[in-house]
Amino acid sequence: MNYDIIGDVHGCLDELLELMEKLGYDGDGGHGRGERKLVFVGDLVDRGPSSDGVLELLMRLREQGRAIVLLGNHDEKLKRYLQGKQVRVGHMLAGTLAQLEPRGKAFMQQVCDFLSELPYRYADEDLLVVHGAVYPGSATIGSLSFAEQSKRDREWALYGQVGGTDTISGYPIRLQDWARGYSGSHNTIVRGHSVVAEVETIVSPSGTRIYNVDTGCSFGGYLSALRYPEHEVVQVKARKVYYEGSII
């Protein structure tokens, strides 16, 4: 199977539809050559103007078997809120809820069910797709129980490798040490989560190519896709700045 792996959408529906068309997909996720499939690295919601529209589209594409969708940390927070768990509703989540709530309770339940089913990683032979980072558990697996290993795998997949909190912005400091030291079996890893101005490639000592495809569409950057196995980047420019902040 060949894939088109799309970075963090963050509610930017118009750009997503434009990117899909540029990649050769129709509005139903079908591809002219038939042998390609869409993969989304997660963070479908927040910041952009149409989280509801993005969710509606991806729920349909996934149900039809035309897309693989991973859970991002923003999606995880929305999921926990919809499940009735205690969640701090900041301005980003509040904006998403304002987009979802007019769609009614049935739609909100559909979204909750959808997010509850999403995996946090996808692997196919030499390819691994994850939202944030890959926990380097191979070095310490002997000291960890299976449950603890699974917990760390999930935390790193959703939130990346975190090294404290930035004293100015208040946001977590996201590290890339895991990528520079990766020694696993996959030849290609594609992830998002940490915004970069251009698609970033890190080559690990073992020769693994690790791509970051979150190019800050909601900040006025680009919505990017990596075509695999071609290793070709395809992008569309954001139509406007939807969320104030730096993309790097």
- Label residue 150 by pLDDT band (50, 70, 90): confident
- Is residue 245 a part of any domain in this protein? no
- Is residue 220 a part of any domain in this protein? yes
Domain residues for the domain of 188 are: 2-237
- Label residue 96 by pLDDT band (50, 70, 90): very high
* Three-state secondary structure of 148-211: HHHHHHHHHHHHCEEEEECCCCCCEEEECHHHHCCCCCCCEEEECCCCCCCCEEEECCCCCEEE
Please, which residues have CB within 8 angstroms of residue 226's CB and are 6 or more apart in sequence? 4, 5, 190, 199, 211, 213, 232, 233
- Is residue 141 a part of any domain in this protein? yes
Prediction pTM value: 0.91
Residue 21, domain CATH? 3.60.21.10
Whether 141 shows a pLDDT value over 60: the answer reads: no
Each residue's pLDDT tens digit, 198-210: 999 999 988 999 9
Mean pLDDT of the chain: 90
Each residue's pLDDT tens digit, 152-195: 899 999 998 876 655 444 556 666 678 888 988 899 999 999 99
What share of the chain in percent tops pLDDT 90? Answer: 75
Each residue's pLDDT tens digit, 64-88: 999 999 999 999 999 999 999 999 9
Report the first-to-last Cα separation within the chain, whole angstroms: 33
- Is residue 138 a part of any domain in this protein? yes
Please, which residues have CB within 8 angstroms of residue 244's CB and are 6 or more apart in sequence? 219
- Is residue 64 a part of any domain in this protein? yes
- Is residue 244 a part of any domain in this protein? no
- Is residue 99 a part of any domain in this protein? yes
- Is residue 97 a part of any domain in this protein? yes
Q: How many structural domains is the chain composed of?
A: 1
Structure tokens at 146: 């299976």
Lowest mean pLDDT among 33-37, 109-113, 163-167: 163-167
